[in-house]
Chain A
Amino acid sequence: MTTVRIPTPLRPYTGGAKEVEVAGETVAAALGDLVQRHPDVKRHLFDDAGALRAYVNVFLNDDDVRALQGEATPLKPGDRLMIIPSIAGGAPIRWRRRATRIRALD
């Protein structure tokens, strides 16, 4: 079994659990087991095409799995996965371009 640490904003979808024990021999299998156990968390982790959302970072022990073998990274008993979101956003880019053009005309 692998322990998955759930970030605060996703805990309402895991029954409030901060950590969830899951089965699976790879990161993908472990995340698959997590969403089977807690289906409501799925739409916040995966997009409609089934890919991990851009803001979802998965750390195995202390390493970002992107620097390992991604979702195919193998797991061994006692491993700890952490789901840590990147928090991002910003204003629409198109608006800025239009504003720049207006300024250029001035």
Chain B
Amino acid sequence: MTLRIPSALLARIWQHGQLAYPEEGAGLMLGRFDGEARVVTHLLPLENHFQPESRGRRYLIAPRDLLRAEDEAERLGVEIVGVFHSHPDHPARASEFDTQWALPVYSYLITQVQAALALESTCWRLTDDRARMDEEALEISDPAIAEEAS
């Protein structure tokens, strides 16, 4: 299980998380399925629709935004392959709440944003029995940026 993402798109995800800080920032990753890997080619940063008082610890992508994203993906000839969101001042680890709400198939990219600075991203996928989320490999396509990110 691998998520492949160009460094420029990962940088945009980090920027989105930093701009959303101290709230969680979220969006969708578009691209293609390549066997067990997901290859990201486009991003759709979206508004966090969770109740304002809880956005520091929760995100919600509205169903109508998802519907629009599916249309956009179809227009681009790609598919929604995953979801990204930030954990402000918290490690980039899938939480119990992340697991409860996770959908199968999608990759979930989580970024720790510490004091408004993105520090680390990890990637997770729900197991088929919904019991847990397993970490998957995150492959950044530009090695120079990969070094900077590590």
Q: Do A and B come from one complex?
A: yes
Smallest distance from the beta carbon of A16 to chain B beta carbons, Å?
12
- Bound state CA distance, A55 and B105, in angstroms? 15
Smallest distance from the beta carbon of A7 to chain B beta carbons, Å?
7
Residues of chain A within 8 A (CB-CB) of B101 are 54-55, 86-89
Number of interface residues of B (CB under 8 A): 40
Smallest distance from the beta carbon of A53 to chain B beta carbons, Å?
9
A87 contact from B56, B66, B105, Cβ within 8 A: B66
Cross-chain contact A7 with B66 (CB below 8 angstroms): yes
A75-106: CB near B (< 8 Å → 1, else 0) gives: 00000001011111111110110010000000
Stretch at the interface among B2-10, B11-19, B89-97: B89-97
- For the residues of A in contact with B, the DSSP-based class is mixed
A8-B102 contact, Cβ under 8 Å, with A84-B63, A88-B58, A92-B97:
no
A1-26: CB near B (< 8 Å → 1, else 0) gives: 00000011110110000000000000
Task: Point out residues on A near B: beta carbons under 8 Å.
Answer: 7-10, 12-13, 43-44, 54-55, 57, 59, 64, 82, 84-93, 95-96, 99
Q: Can you give 21 A-B contacts (C-beta < 8 A)?
A: A7-B70, A9-B104, A9-B105, A44-B130, A54-B101, A59-B63, A64-B63, A82-B67, A84-B64, A87-B28, A87-B66, A87-B103, A88-B97, A89-B108, A90-B95, A90-B98, A92-B95, A92-B96, A93-B57, A96-B57, A99-B89
